[in-house]
Structure 1
Amino acid sequence: MVPKVLQINALDSVGGAGRVSYLLHNYYKETGIDSSMLVGEKKTQDPSVDTLKGKINIRYITPTLKRLKINDFISIDNNNLFSHPFYKSSNVIHLHNLHQGYFNLQNLERFSKENKSVIWTFHDMWPITGNSFHTFGCERWREDLDFKCNCSQKHSKYDLFLEKHLLKRKLEIYEKSNFIIVTPSCWLADLVKKSILQDKRIEVIPNGIDEKYIKYEDKNKLRKGLKLPLEKDIVCFNAHGGLKNIWKGGEYMNETLKEMRGKRDVVFLELGCDIEKRIDSVDTIKIPYTDDYEELYKYMQASDLFLFSSLAENFPLVLIEAQAVGLPTVTFDVGGSKEIVINGETGFVVEYKNAEQLASKGLEILENEELKKRFSKNSIQNFQNKYRLSTQADRYLKLYEEISDHEK
């Protein structure tokens, strides 16, 4: 059976899951595959994307839900989902992020009753926890621990009660629902195998990016065009939210930059800042967030090093982007980062939250031109072998075809 795919996500084109789902959607449209998309909040003008509507406008009650810490797990009916032409014409439902208050998780049960083939890509830990995107090492969600943990985090009685209650409710829904789980990283797949979903089929399909936006150009030419210094090392970091984004480890990045200052003639390029236009200072250039990926990749390609201090990740696209443009990278050992950055071959993977190691390994790359060239060459090869959008899309397509044939 020819797959007719419906992608469902909180957003189209924005955020990691938004970009992944929208890239897949567009790739399939461009290659002749029937694809449509439903989202909680539409950001594009794409007519093949529409908004899921609820019987209640979630914005009116979000403050109350946030205070109760249940804003990501609600039971508001999506009153236009099952009557929507996108849903009716599809035979494969590809789910992505189902939190952010736009989707009733009980829809999973109805998908199964209506014999829809369902794939659910996990972009974070929310599906296997009560209500947490990331648990920062706490394992109370594990199937064998029954909410007992010895982590250093302080959990209130309400938090533990809520997590346990919501996880129990999820299990009740999952037991009545048929779906295949896909994780971009082996790291997350291993966690799922310890969770309430351990008996489901689990596949690993790494994320990919669209290489059409990457133009391999001379570094000095790029720097001249971008008005960047020609003779200095350029170190870029934090591709979304800048140092103000606590998830990106701004505290540790500040420590890293402090360690590096004075040891090399360096300019720091801060990408994705919450500003309207570029700001240049003595040793830092702030670049506002942009969805112009061709421009973003030019800044990355014009740099000598990428630093990544994020504290919670699954399979970050920005590390794939750094590999794609041949940018040597030093990253914390977080989530699936070490599956992307090959330690000692395309960059370095250092101890989680160790700013001193992040700085020292970054300096090691900057001080060794041969090492920098080798990492750059290996990074491009690593991307081309594993992380092209076409590679990711083809693997999903095979899965779509398999499950849609099974439903004949």
Structure 2
Amino acid sequence: MRIVVFSENNYGCGASIAAYRLVKGLSKNNEVFFIYEKNRAKFNIFRNIKFSVWHLGKSTSIFKNSIFIGFNILSKLTKTNINRWFLFKVFYKKIKDFKPDIIHFHNTYFTHEQIAKLSENFPVVWTMHDQFALFLYNYKVIKFDGNEKVYCPINDWRRKFYDVDKLLNNNDANIVFTPPSQWLADLGKTVINGRKRIEVIHNGIDINEFFPIDKKKARTNLGLKNKFTFLFLAGTGAWERKNSIIIFKALKLIPDLDIQVVAIGSVTKYKFDDNRIINKGAVYTSEELREVYNSADVFCIPSVLDNLPNTVLESLLCGIPVLGSNKGGIQEMIINDKTGWSFDPYSASDLAIKIEFLYNHRDSIINKTEECRNSVINKFSEDKMINSYTTLYKELKKDQR
């Protein structure tokens, strides 16, 4: 089959990483055209690739680049959608030449009319990596003070260009939404209300990309001590949703616990005086991440809301159990007491109790490697993802005729 996969970013965020992994899997038996708008990769992700890649809105021609920049500036000055109109014209011409069987979106900001136009000629699959496609914002979370926080809501003046109801009510729009988690599917169904098809297809991962390696060696390479290690990935982007602060609060409740807490990423928003916390900075490649996960006894993901995080799959494939928030789709990825444990992300005491429990039972954790890996292989493998999407593509292609 000929498949266009469109992603807002080429790499660097969870949605784009999932899109990239899908493209790699699809390209084994299909002709894939990967299109993205923003270059966020910190390294060359396209080496030894078997698919075509195109950076929409970017050109080797200085003249064409000037046109793209001009339309972006004009859009901001006039508060119109003229830049999206122009990008779509370029995009539509390109894919018509490619003649795809399917267009697969992973985060997009085309208008409802543009998406409908595409779907009339090429069936559209839209993987919902967050709530945007149906709710016009990425996430809505409850903060610790009880107030709501909405991440990345669509600007009021743009709402007329992307109207969810007009897209869902368009009977000619051949589009299927594929949230990776049941949590997001259940939310989506309340909006779709039977007007379009929505189907859970889990994000998949190459089971050979992450795997167990010697823990002592991993710790030595990272300059860590050979002691109980608690790992989390920090970040200043969407930091309230990612909720790293709860880890620092929990550690204050167990000040005498002899552990080392490794933070990957930026924790500059937080002020902490706990010498057990070791900030190792940003990590990008799979090789580096393998070593980081394998250095840990437990990986913690404390998000107050998340969909189906890649980090959980990566940790489990390395044989490292997960202590995860019981909100969103995270709980769907963990088999309690076998591949991980859940906790209330609003409760520092609950997290502290869980950390202390795991420390006191650390000898039993090392026996969970096989269960952790099998949980991903059986449910979230690349093969399962590709088979599910291929089946869907064939159904849509058949219906389009």
1:174 maps onto 2:163 in alignment: no
Distance 2:148 2:12 in 1: 31
User: Aligned partner of 1:290: which letter?
Assistant: V
User: Aligned partner of 1:90: which letter?
Assistant: P
Matches within 5 A, 1:127-276: 127-129=133-135, 131-136=136-141, 152-153=147-148, 162=156, 169-176=163-170, 177-196=173-192, 198-230=194-226, 232-238=227-233, 241=235, 245-263=239-257, 265-273=258-266
The question of whether the paired residues in 2 share the 8 Å contact of 1:77 and 1:104 is answered with no
Matches within 5 A, 1:17-32: 17-29=15-27, 31-32=28-29
Matches within 5 A, 1:1-400: 3-29=1-27, 31-42=28-39, 43=41, 46=46, 48-53=52-57, 57=69, 60=73, 77-85=87-95, 88-99=98-109, 103-114=110-121, 116-129=122-135, 131-136=136-141, 152-153=147-148, 162=156, 169-176=163-170, 177-196=173-192, 198-230=194-226, 232-238=227-233, 241=235, 245-263=239-257, 265-273=258-266, 282-400=275-393
Distance 2:30 2:321 in 1: 36
Distance 2:147 2:236 in 1: 27
- Judged with a 3 Å threshold, the aligned counterparts in structure 2 of structure 1 residues 362 and 257 are, in CA distance, closer, same or farther, namely same
Distance 2:372 2:242 in 1: 22
- Judged with a 3 Å threshold, the aligned counterparts in structure 2 of structure 1 residues 161 and 226 are, in CA distance, closer, same or farther, namely closer
SS in 1 for 2:378: helix
**Alpha-carbon distance, 1:84 to partner:** 0.5
User: Aligned partner of 2:108: which letter?
Assistant: L
The question of whether the paired residues in 1 share the 8 Å contact of 2:212 and 2:317 is answered with no
User: Aligned partner of 1:51: which letter?
Assistant: H
Q: Which runs of 5+ in 1 are unaligned?
A: 139-150, 276-280
User: Aligned partner of 2:323: which letter?
Assistant: V
CA deviation vs aligned residue, 1:223-275 (integer Å, no higher than 9, x gap): 22332211x2111112x526983331132122123233322x11111012379
SS in 2 for 1:246: helix
CA deviation vs aligned residue, 1:6-46 (integer Å, no higher than 9, x gap): 001101122111011111112222x1311111111134574
Distance 2:307 2:194 in 1: 18
- Judged with a 3 Å threshold, the aligned counterparts in structure 2 of structure 1 residues 386 and 154 are, in CA distance, closer, same or farther, namely closer
- Identity across aligned pairs (percent)? 22
In the alignment, which residue of structure 2 is the partner of 1:141? Answer: none
Distance 1:87 1:97 in 2: 23
- Judged with a 3 Å threshold, the aligned counterparts in structure 2 of structure 1 residues 319 and 200 are, in CA distance, closer, same or farther, namely same
TM-score by length of 1: 0.81
**Alpha-carbon distance, 1:154 to partner:** 8.7
The question of whether the paired residues in 2 share the 8 Å contact of 1:76 and 1:104 is answered with no
User: Aligned partner of 2:134: which letter?
Assistant: I
- Judged with a 3 Å threshold, the aligned counterparts in structure 2 of structure 1 residues 62 and 187 are, in CA distance, closer, same or farther, namely farther
The question of whether the paired residues in 1 share the 8 Å contact of 2:112 and 2:166 is answered with no
Distance 2:180 2:399 in 1: 24
The question of whether the paired residues in 2 share the 8 Å contact of 1:125 and 1:188 is answered with yes
User: Aligned partner of 1:208: which letter?
Assistant: G
CA deviation vs aligned residue, 1:52-94 (integer Å, no higher than 9, x gap): 23975475368779xx9x99x9666522111115763211001
In the alignment, which residue of structure 1 is the partner of 2:64? Answer: none
The question of whether the paired residues in 2 share the 8 Å contact of 1:243 and 1:250 is answered with no
Q: How many residues align?
A: 373
User: Aligned partner of 2:385: which letter?
Assistant: Q
Distance 2:123 2:147 in 1: 41
**Alpha-carbon distance, 1:316 to partner:** 0.8
The question of whether the paired residues in 2 share the 8 Å contact of 1:78 and 1:104 is answered with no
166-175 vs 298-307, which moves further: 166-175
SS in 1 for 2:20: helix
SS in 2 for 1:6: strand
Distance 2:155 2:218 in 1: 55
Distance 2:286 2:154 in 1: 41
